[in-house]
Amino acid sequence: MTSAPLVTVFGSLHYDIAVNGPARPRKGETVTGTSWYPKCGGKGGNQAVSAARAGARTEMIGAVADDDFGRTLIANLSRKGVGHAHVRRDAERSTGMSVAIFDADGDYGAVIVSGSNLTLGNADVEAAGHLLATSAVLVLQNEIPDAANVAAAKRVRSTGGEVLLNAAPARTLSPELAALVDVLVVNAIEAEMLSGTDVVETLEGALAAARRLAGSYPHVVVTAGGAGVAYANAQGETLTLDPIRITVASTHGAGDEFIGVLAASRAKGLGFPEALDLANRAAAKLVSTPEDQRD
């Protein structure tokens, strides 16, 4: 019997500490918070969990330390149905972590300490060679070294898999990595940086940025939050999705949910119109769900 198509996520794992308060502090300001709680995260980990929840066979390649944070992250992947045989235990660095501060409107700002995520590289790609060679979709982000992303993308492209890069956080991509990307997914800020367009605040602006980036990438998706989603490809085809009207509980993790569902849908063979619609609906549902009610 043929195995289901595989989504492999090569990327970051962070132990997150979320803090709720009335507002995010300004420079030099102390704000009294109302609550805090731990959460398993990292863009890579979040996207892997999302892909598995969307029904894809999903494997994670990453690195954590042999500490309490690392053990908690591994247990979470296992509980959420994500394979983790290639999540390496690093003896030199601590597990990656982050602190996210949420305001009363559900928006947030975060600081990450990458730790063991920065040790990912060629050795991890070689160790997971068979996994990468059989992946229908490889999901990458910018929370691990560019050279590691390049090595993984080369392996997947050599066997016909699709490389999806969520270029977040925003940073300049190496020409070598850019040439290996099949699907580029960026938010408004990342789209502005990579495309050189004006501020992306509207759906029309998101589409303009997607069209410009499609001159360099086969498929481009710009997620513009409450403005909607824009898509363009190298053949000149475009698509826009209007925002889904919901009551915002928390925007945390919306982008990762979108990526995971998009990757799962592509692995199942869905075209971009249907895959983007499913991803958009999943992200909207997550945003409307309070953090303490998410599975």
Dump pLDDT digits (tens) for 237-282.
999 999 898 887 777 789 999 999 999 999 999 999 999 999 999 9
Dump pLDDT digits (tens) for 16-31.
999 999 999 999 999 9
What is the mean pLDDT of the segment spanning 178-203? Answer: 92
130 is in which domain, residue-wise?
A: 6-12+42-92+118-181+244-293
pTM for the whole structure: 0.92
Asked if residue 226 belongs to a domain, the reply is: no
Dump pLDDT digits (tens) for 86-118.
999 998 999 999 998 989 887 888 898 999 999
Asked if residue 37 belongs to a domain, the reply is: no
Instruction: Quote the pLDDT of residue 1.
Output: 42
C-alpha to C-alpha distance for 40 and 52, rounded to whole angstroms: 15
198: annotated active-site residue: no
Residue from 256, 277, 292, 295 carrying the catalytic annotation: 256
What is the mean pLDDT of the segment spanning 73-77? Answer: 98
Asked if residue 274 belongs to a domain, the reply is: yes
Tell me: pLDDT of 285 over 80: yes
Asked if residue 28 belongs to a domain, the reply is: no
- Tokens 């979470």 correspond to what residue? 76
Instruction: Quote the pLDDT of residue 2.
Output: 53
Asked if residue 217 belongs to a domain, the reply is: no
Instruction: Quote the pLDDT of residue 134.
Output: 97
Domain count, the chain: 1
Question: Is the previous residue joined to 5 through a cis bond, with omega within 30 degrees of 0?
Answer: no
Asked if residue 63 belongs to a domain, the reply is: yes
Helix residue spans in the chain (DSSP H): 43-53, 68-79, 122-127, 129-133, 146-157, 175-178, 188-195, 203-213, 254-267, 272-287
Asked if residue 204 belongs to a domain, the reply is: no
Asked if residue 202 belongs to a domain, the reply is: no
- CATH number of the domain encompassing residue 129: 3.40.1190.20
For residue 32 the two structure tokens come to 């009294």
